[in-house]
Amino acid sequence: MLLAIDAGNTNTVFAVFDGDRLLTAMRCSTYGPRTSDEYFVWLNRLMDHHGVPLEAITDAIIATVVPQTLFNLKRLCREFFKCEPLVVGEPNCALGVKIKVKREREVGADRLVNTVGAFDAYGPNLIIVDFGTATTFDVVDFEGAYAGGLIVPGVNLSLKALHEAAAKLPNVDIAKPQQVVGTDTESCMQSGVYWGYVSLIEGVCKRVSEEIGVPMTVIATGGLSPLMAEGTLAIDHVDGDLTMRGLVKIYKENRP
């Protein structure tokens, strides 16, 4: 079985696959100094809860956008699962797709993994909108290559910034308002962020399609993707497992 690890800025996800079949996914907050022992104690209990024996793990693959986590995630795989993990971004890990940007090493591992997973599932000419700590737009061209994209502050990050920078603005949760025009401070903030991001999605996707010169299929992923998709027809597919499927595809590319 394969242990696929995706370490994002906010959360780290550990998923166990038997071939293409996802058996379980476990999530913890991302914390750079967390040791391999701490990861193991937490994983051991959850895997036992889900009925996945430790000895069933035969290989691992890691994608991380937080460099401080990599040492202990590698150590976790080596010491407790007795395997040498593939690491997205290292020279010995082939992606199977081209990267058409000036500085390849600056592209986040998650964005490359999403490109692999999306092209495999949906074909070429894609825009991937990932609602994470940052909201990213990534373009997959006619060859299935990563062609660049955009990065904007994430939805929750924007709400947090409003609360912290303006003395009278409260801390509110993201929600889809029933109407655009808010009638109190909380509803005004929710409406501004929600419908503002919906308009951002629609506008950016339209401009990218015009610039590329062909219609683009829009894939949304990340925790807020189902909520944001409720407000717009610009999103064609919501795919919460995109990153993990991309990791499995990369693993197969390297260790068939």
* Residues classed as catalytic: 110
Of 101, 126, 102, the closest CA to residue 114 belongs to: 126
Amino acid in the structure at residue 150? L
* Residue 115 annotated as part of some ligand binding site: no
Phi, psi (rounded to 5 degrees) for 57: -75, 120
Q: Tell me how many helices (H) and strands (E) the chain has.
A: 7, 10
* Residue 92 annotated as part of some ligand binding site: no
* Residue 108 annotated as part of some ligand binding site: yes
* Residue 136 annotated as part of some ligand binding site: no
Contacts of 37 (CB under 8 A, 6+ apart): none
Strand order in the sheet with 2-7: 21-29, 11-18, 2-7, 59-64, 86-87
* Residue 59 annotated as part of some ligand binding site: no
* Residue 11 annotated as part of some ligand binding site: yes
C-alpha triplet 174, 9, 64: angle, nearest 5°: 140
Rounded Cα distance between 139 and 125, Å, is 7
Of 216, 209, 181, the closest CA to residue 195 belongs to: 181
Cβ distance 118 to 139 under 8 Å? Answer: no
Rounded Cα distance between 251 and 116, Å, is 11
* Residue 110 annotated as part of some ligand binding site: yes
* Residue 111 annotated as part of some ligand binding site: yes
Amino acid in the structure at residue 173? D
* Residue 173 annotated as part of some ligand binding site: no
* Residue 15 annotated as part of some ligand binding site: no
Annotated binding site for ATP: 6-13, 133
Annotated binding site: 6-13, 108-111, 130, 133, 185
Annotated binding site for K(+): 130
Annotated binding site for substrate: 108-111, 185
